[in-house]
Amino acid sequence: MADKATLSYEGSSIDLDVVIGSENEVGIDITRLRGATGMITLDPGYANTGSCTSDITFIDGEKGILRYRGYPIEELAEKSSFMETAFLVLYGHLPNEKELADFENDISEEAYLHYGMKSHFEGFPDNAPPMAVLSAMLNILSCYNTELLTTATEGPKFTEPAAKIISKVRAIAAWAYRTSIGKPFMPPRPDLGYSGNFLHMMFSQQFKLYEPLPEVERALDLFLILHADHEQNCSTSTVRMVGSSHASLFSAVSAGVGALWGPLHGGANCEVIRMLTGIHEHGIKPRDFVEKAKDKNSPEKLMGFGHRVYKSFDPRARILKGQVDAVLKALNISDPLLDIAYELEEMARSEDYFIERNLYPNVDFYSGILLRAIGIPVNMFTVLFAIGRMPGWIANWREMHEQSLRISRPRQIYTGATKRSYIPLGER
Ligand code: SDX
C-alpha cells in the first residue's frame, strides 16, 4: 500500500504521510498540513478523524469485530473474568497466575472508602442523579489521594490510582444508591470477588447478607467485560482530552462519566428500558413505535439501535442477548420487555429505513434487560457502564501519556461576523 497521499488545491499540492495499522487500516497523517498549507481539515463529530494510534482495542464496524489487545470479545466473554480482562486492557497481556492474584489483591485492598467521604454523600438530595454523584465523588476521591495526582504511567504512582479507581468506583456507586434510598453504607467483604462484592454493597441488609446466585454474579462480570473498552468513543475521547492537559487520572475519568451520561452514549441503556416500559405500560404496538422512530418529525428514536462504528450487529449485543435468556431461566423469571425487544429487533431488521442506514442493536439494547433481571435499578444502569469502562478509560489515559501526546487543541473554521467597530449603547 502507498505510504504517501497527495492533496492538491488551487494549483499546489502536498504529499502527506500515510499510517497503516496492524489491521491494515489506512490513515492520512495531517500533522504537517497547516504548517505547510495554512489549511486545516473539518470533520464535525470526528466521524472521519483519528485522534491517535492505539494498541488497546480493535473494532471492525463492517464485520462486527471487537478485540481487546487482539483477543476476540467472544472468547473473553466466554473464558475470562472482569478482573483478568481489566488487567489485559490496562497492561496489554493476559496475566499469569501471580500477576492476576497480585492485581486482584490490590483491587481488594482498595475496596473501602475514606470515612471522610461519608459527609459528601449525605450532602446530595435523595433524587440526585447517580451519574452526577459518581462524577463528583471521583473528583472528591482525588482530594484523599493528593500524592497521586500525577501523570505517571509506570510504578506505584500509576498502579495505585488505577487500582483505587477501579476498586472504589463500586463502593461509590453502591453508597450513592443506598444514600438515595435512605440506607446506611454496607462495607465491602474481603471474601467476595469484584462483581459479587459490588452486589453485596448494593443489596445486603444489616442483618441479612445478599448472596448472589452464581449465574447473577457471572452475568454482572460478563456485562463488565463487554463494557471494558471500545476505542475512541465519546467518553474515552473525553478522558484523553482532559488528560492531555496533564490533569490527574481522577479528573479525567470524572469527565468521562459526564460524557458517558448522555442518552446518545452510555445513557442509552436507561433510555432503552424507559422506551420498552413505555411501550408495555401504554399498550403501544411495537409496529407503531417503529413507525414513530422512522419519522423525522417524531422525537422518538429506537434507543439501543444504531452506532457510529458498527454498521452490522454489535458483537456485544449478540452476546448479551444470549446471556439475558440464561439469566432469566436461572432466576426462573420472565420479562415482558424482552418479548417487546425481540419484536422490535425483528421488525427493525426487516425495515428498509433501518437496513439502508445500517442500524442494528448496539450494546445498550439488551444490557438494560440483563441489569433489570439481576435487580439493578434503572437509574444505576449507566453507572454500571462506567464501572465496566474504567479499565478502558485508564488504559487510554496511560497510552496517551506513554506516547507523550501534545495537549488536545482542535482548530476551527470561523464563520461569524467580520471585523466591526463598537457602537455606543444609545446609538444601537
Ligand atoms: C454507545 O462510540 C461507541 O463506541 C459508543 C459505545 C461504547 O461502547 O462506548 O458503543 C456505547 O454509546 C452505544 C450507542 C448508544 N446510543 C443509542 O442507542 C442512542 C440511539 N442511537 C442513535 O442516537 C445513533 O445511532 C448514535 C448516536 C448511536 C450514532 O449516531 P451517528 O453515528 O451520529 O448517526 P446519526 O445520528 O447521524 O444517524 C444516521 C441516520 C439518521 O437518519 P438520516 O438523517 O440519515 O435520515 O440514522 C438515523 C438518524 O436519524 N438513526 C436512527 C437511530 N440512530 C440513527 N433512527 C432511529 N433510531 C435510531 N436509534
Q: Which residue owns the Cα nearest ligand 1 atom 49? A: 357
Residue 364 appears among annotated catalytic residues: yes
CA of 360 to the centre of ligand 1 (A): 10
pLDDT in tens, 347-374: 988 999 999 999 999 999 999 999 999 9
pLDDT at 15: 97
pLDDT in tens, 238-280: 999 999 999 999 999 999 999 999 999 999 999 999 999 999 9
Mean pLDDT of 232-236: 98
Using alpha carbons only, how large is the chain's radius of gyration in Å? 23
307: phi then psi, degrees, rounded to nearest 5: -165, 145
2 vs 18: CA distance, rounded Å: 7
Beta bridge partners of 8: 13
Q: Enumerate residues lining ligand 1, CB below 6 A.
A: 230, 233, 264-266, 268, 293, 301-309, 357, 359, 362-364
Q: Which of 120, 307, 314, 401 is catalytic?
A: 307
CATH number 1.10.580.10 given to 74-264+378-402: yes
pLDDT at 2: 84
CA of 357 to the centre of ligand 1 (A): 10
Please tell me if the domain spanning 4-65 has the same topology as the one spanning 268-374. Answer: no
Instruction: Please identify, by atom number, the ligand 1 atom nearest to the C-alpha of residue 301.
Output: 58
pLDDT in tens, 160-205: 999 999 999 999 999 999 988 989 999 999 999 999 999 999 999 9
pLDDT in tens, 77-132: 999 999 999 999 999 999 999 999 999 999 999 999 999 999 999 999 989 999 99
Q: Which residue owns the Cα nearest ligand 1 atom 16? A: 264
* Residues 184 and 171 sit within 8 Å (Cβ to Cβ): no
Q: Which residue owns the Cα nearest ligand 1 atom 1? A: 265
- Going by their DSSP bridges, the two strands 65-68 and 71-72 should be labelled as antiparallel
* Residues 168 and 385 sit within 8 Å (Cβ to Cβ): no
CA of 312 to the centre of ligand 1 (A): 13
Instruction: Please identify, by atom number, the ligand 1 atom nearest to the C-alpha of residue 293.
Output: 57
Task: Kindly report the three-state secondary structure assignment for every residue of the chain.
Answer: CCCEEEEEECCEEEEEEEEECCCCCEEECCCCHHHHHCCCCCCHHHCCCCCCCCCCEEEECCCCEEEECCEEHHHHHHHCCHHHHHHHHHHCCCCCHHHHHHHHHHHHHCCCCCHHHHHHHHCCCCCCCHHHHHHHHHHHHHHCCHHHCCCCCCCHHHHHHHHHHHHHHHHHHHHHHHHHCCCCCCCCCCCCCHHHHHHHHHHCECCECCCCCHHHHHHHHHHHHHCCCCCCCHHHHHHHHHHCCCCCHHHHHHHHHHHHCCCCCCCHHHHHHHHHHHHHHCCCCHHHHHHHHHCCCCCCCCCCECCCCCCCCCHHHHHHHHHHHHHHHHCCCCCHHHHHHHHHHHHHCCCHHHHHCCCCECHHHHHHHHHHHCCCCHHHHHHHHHHHHHHHHHHHHHHHHHCCCCCCCCCCCCCCCCCCCCCCHHHC
Q: Which residue owns the Cα nearest ligand 1 atom 18? A: 304
66: phi then psi, degrees, rounded to nearest 5: -140, 125
CA of 264 to the centre of ligand 1 (A): 7
Q: Which residue owns the Cα nearest ligand 1 atom 25? A: 306
pLDDT at 68: 98
Q: Which three cell numbers stand for residue 425?
A: 449603547
Residue whose cell numbers read 474515552: 236
pLDDT in tens, 407-422: 999 999 999 999 999 9
Cβ-based burial of 72 (10 A; exposed 0-12, middle 13-18, buried ≥19): middle
pLDDT at 4: 94
pLDDT at 1: 83
pLDDT band at residue 326 using 50, 70 and 90 as cut-offs: confident
| Of 49, 357, 382, 387, best ligand 1 pocket probe by most atoms within 8 Å of the beta carbon | 357
Single-letter code of the amino acid located at 11: G
108 vs 190: CA distance, rounded Å: 7
Residue 120 appears among annotated catalytic residues: no
Question: Could you give the maximum distance between any two Cα atoms of the chain, in Å?
Answer: 80
Q: Which residue owns the Cα nearest ligand 1 atom 26? A: 307
CA distances, 324 to each of 36, 363, 386, 416 (Å): 55, 13, 20, 51
Between 2.20.28, 1.20.1050, 1.20.1070, 1.25.40, what CATH number should domain 4-65 receive? 2.20.28
| Of 233, 272, 305, best ligand 1 pocket probe by most atoms within 8 Å of the beta carbon | 305
**Ramachandran bin of 231, using left for φ above 0, alpha for ψ from -120 to 50, beta for the remaining angles:** left
CATH no., domain 268-374? 1.10.230.10
**Ramachandran bin of 332, using left for φ above 0, alpha for ψ from -120 to 50, beta for the remaining angles:** left
pLDDT band at residue 325 using 50, 70 and 90 as cut-offs: confident
- Domain locations along the chain: 4-65, 74-264+378-402, 268-374
Beta bridge partners of 65: 60
